Every structure is written in C-alpha cells, then in structure tokens.
C-alpha cells in the first residue's frame, strides 16, 4: 500500500511539473508572438511614408543647376539633396515668381530677401529613369519683375547595384543568425548581441539619412525618420542589458525590438535597387546598414521563439 501511494504521488508530481512546464513555455511563446505581431502591425501602420528622412527616396540620378539666363545680381537657384529639391534665394529688390507646373508647391512668389525651397517635378530625379552615364536636360522659366529668367539644369545617371546579390546576402545573414542562436551554449547572450548590432545599424542608418537632408531642421527630421524605432531601440538595448543580468524576460524584449527594427527598415530596401541614396556617406555603407538591420533583426526575431522555449523549459 505504501509503495502504491508513493508511486501515485510521484506520478502526480511529475504530471504537475510537466503541466507547469508546458504552461510556462506556452505563456512565453504566446507573449512573444503577441509582441512581435503587435510590432509588425504598429510599424506597418506607423509610417512607411515617414521611413525616409525628409521624405527623400533613392533614385537613379543626381540633379544640378547649370545656368540662369540672363544672370541677375542677387538671384540664385541651386539644387540640393542630389537634385530632389531646388533652393531659390532672392536678394534682389523685387519679387520672383515660380511658374505653375512643378508640383503642389507651385506656383509660388518669393519676396525680396527671402528663400524658397521646394521639390519641383521638372527638375527632380524622383520617378525618372536615367541610364548610367546618360544626361537629361531640364529647364523652367522664372519671372523676375517681368523679366523671364530661364533656369537650366541636368540629371546625370549613376550605375545601379546588383539587387540579387544584396537580397541573397540578406537571406543568408538571416538564416545564419537563426542557426547561430540555436547552436551556441548561451543563445540568450547571442540574441542580445545580434539584436544590439541590428539596432546599432538602424541608428546609424537613420543618422546618416538625417544628415543628408538640407531642407528641414535636423532634430525634427531625425525623430520623424526614426518613427517606431524610438520604441524599438530602447526595447532591444534594454532587453540586452536584462539578458546580461540573467533575466530571461530580456530575450523577449530583444526579439520584439529586433522584429520592429526589421519591419520598419523595409521601405528602405529600395537602396538595394537604386544608385543614388539619401544618405550622408558611401552608398555601400548605407546598403550594409540596411542589410544588418533587416536580416539581423529578422533572424533574431525568428530564432527567438526557439530560444524562449529552451529557456522556459530549463527554468521549469
């Protein structure tokens, strides 16, 4: 009788522990899935339109102003942000009118002593296909107190990168991150390190994109370009600190932050296909940063479910 009772108690204990383990694993996995899905939804809703600093996008050409005819003292027109916008400075004594036809910012009148910066579709490389090495001329006519002033410029095409190579590299990196996290002795530390690397790449990408904008205040441009990353970066870095202090919940924060980072950088993958990038630095560096943020973040998020399950089972 005593043996039977002890055997029954033992089975009950094992059954109870097993249920607790499964319950703990299930809760952690559900929490992870909820956080990641919430991040994807929020990032997708929050602003692909605001993903590029200053509204700039990758293009295939750079634009510049070549001449003003006739030249008028005090009147200058220059191309900024690789030709995405024009900047007119009117230091003459009379108003200067920009004619209709250049987009929603035109027509416009620039008073004496003031400056107008606008995106003009007649001069912008956005949406224009310009082959590498080819030059396309453009022009528009200003009205300087009754005097027609012709602004001429050109768009010069640049060589495109090979998108297949960059996408292959992104897929390879994402798979490598997921496999590495599953094979290391401390997958939590591995995920924390890789998630932090993806966050650092994202931060550098946003800073470089902000510095490329000359038509808006830097602070506001940075905040606008960062978007949901203002939540993702602290979540990832704070989670990594928690992991270093042996707190399993930190892994969940790292994975959620990494998922947000990967989703929010998606609009910038056009950099894999275009030649001229809105970034204050080498184009190859920008593509590498996007690669690390996208593939690194995705790899950490994917590997997170397995790591969370392992940690939950080890602590049950």
pLDDT-derived band at 44 (thresholds 50, 70, 90) equals: very low
Parse the chain into domains and list their residue ranges. Answer: 26-56+160-315, 61-157
Confidence of residue 272 (pLDDT cuts 50, 70, 90): very high
Which one is predicted more confidently, 52 or 105?
105
Helix 218-226 and helix 229-244: axis angle, to 10°?
70
Q: Name the pLDDT band for 247 (thresholds 50, 70, 90).
A: confident
pLDDT tens for each residue of 190-241: 999 999 999 999 999 999 999 999 999 999 999 999 999 999 999 999 999 9
Would you state the pLDDT for residue 253?
Answer: 94
The number of C-alpha atoms within 13 Å of 120 and in the hemisphere containing its C-beta is 33
The mean pLDDT of the chain is 86
What's the whole-number mean pLDDT along residues 161-183? 93
Buried b (16+ CB within 10 A) or exposed e, 81-93: bbbbbbbbbbebe
Check residue 316 and give its pLDDT.
54
What share of the chain has pLDDT > 70, as a percent? 80
DSSP three-state, residue 80: strand
∠ CA 285-290-294, nearest 5°, is 150
Name every residue whose Cβ is closer than 8 Å to that of residue 202 and which is 6 or more positions away in sequence: 229, 232, 233, 261, 264, 265, 289, 293, 297
pLDDT greater at residue 299 or residue 10: 299
Question: What pLDDT is attached to residue 306?
Answer: 73
* H-helix segments, the chain: 2-46, 163-183, 187-211, 218-226, 229-244, 249-264, 283-291, 297-315
pLDDT of residue 31: 46
Omega before 107 within 30 of 0, i.e. cis: yes
At residue 137, the 3 state secondary structure works out as: strand
Q: How many helices (H) and strands (E) does the chain have?
A: 8, 8
pTM of the entire predicted model: 0.82
State residue 314's pLDDT score.
Answer: 58
Of the ranges 5-14, 16-25, 119-128, 297-306, which is most confident?
119-128
pLDDT band, residue 312 (cuts 50/70/90): low
pLDDT for res 18: 44
Residue 25: its pLDDT value, please? 42
The answer to whether the CB of 51 falls within 8 A of the CB of 270 is: no
How many C-alpha atoms does 43 have within 13 Å on its Cβ side? 25
Backbone angles phi, psi at 170, to 5 degrees: -65, -45
Structure tokens at 153: 């410029």
Query: What is the C-alpha to C-alpha distance for residues 278 and 289, in angstroms, rounded to an integer?
Result: 13
Compute how many other C-beta atoms are within 10 angstroms of the C-beta atom of residue 72: 18
Is 223 strand, coil or helix?
helix
The answer to whether residues 201 and 170 touch, using CB atoms and an 8 Å cutoff, is: no
Could you read off the pLDDT of 89-133 as tens digits, one per residue?
A: 999 999 999 999 999 999 999 999 999 999 999 999 999 999 999
Q: Which residues contact 9 (CB under 8 A, 6 or more apart)?
A: none
Q: Exposed (0-12), middle (13-18) or buried (19+): which is 138, by Cβ within 10 Å?
A: buried
In contact, 71 and 62? CB cutoff 8 Å: no
Kindly report which listed range (3-7, 259-263, 269-273) carries the lowest average pLDDT score.
Answer: 3-7
Q: Which pLDDT value is given to residue 315? A: 59
Q: What is the pLDDT of residue 24?
A: 43
pLDDT (0 to 100) of residue 20: 36
Angle between helices 187-211 and 229-244 (to 10 degrees): 150
């Amino acid at each position: 009788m005593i043996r039977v009772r002890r055997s029954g108690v033992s089975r009950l204990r094992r059954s109870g522990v097993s249920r607790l383990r499964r319950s703990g694993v299930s809760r952690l996995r559900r929490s992870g899935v909820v956080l990641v899905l919430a991040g994807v939804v929020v990032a997708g809703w929050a602003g692909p339109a605001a993903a590029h600093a200053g509204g700039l996008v990758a293009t295939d050409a750079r634009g510049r102003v070549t001449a003003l005819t006739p030249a008028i003292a005090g009147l200058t027109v220059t191309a900024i942000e690789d030709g995405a916008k024009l900047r007119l400075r009117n230091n003459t004594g009379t108003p200067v009118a920009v004619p209709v036809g250049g987009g929603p910012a035109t027509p416009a009148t620039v008073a004496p002593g003031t400056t107008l910066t606008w995106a003009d579709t007649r001069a912008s490389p956005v949406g224009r296909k310009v082959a590498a090495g080819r030059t396309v001329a453009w022009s528009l006519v200003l009205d300087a107190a009754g005097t027609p002033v012709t602004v001429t410029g050109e768009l010069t095409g640049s060589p495109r990168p090979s998108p297949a190579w960059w996408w292959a590299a992104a897929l390879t990196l994402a798979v490598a991150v997921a496999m590495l996290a599953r094979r290391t002795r401390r997958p939590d530390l591995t995920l924390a390190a890789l998630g932090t690397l993806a966050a650092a790449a994202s931060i550098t990408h946003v800073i470089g994109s902000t510095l490329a904008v000359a038509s808006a205040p830097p602070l506001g441009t940075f905040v606008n370009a960062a978007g949901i990353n203002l939540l993702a970066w602290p979540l990832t870095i704070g989670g990594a600190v928690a992991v270093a202090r042996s707190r399993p919940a930190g892994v969940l924060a790292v994975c959620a932050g990494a998922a947000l980072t990967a989703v929010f950088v998606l609009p910038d993958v056009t950099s894999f296909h275009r030649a001229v990038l809105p970034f204050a630095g080498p184009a190859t560096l920008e593509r590498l940063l996007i690669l690390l943020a996208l593939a690194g973040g995705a790899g950490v998020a994917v590997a997170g479910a397995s790591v969370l399950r392992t940690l939950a089972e080890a602590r049950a």
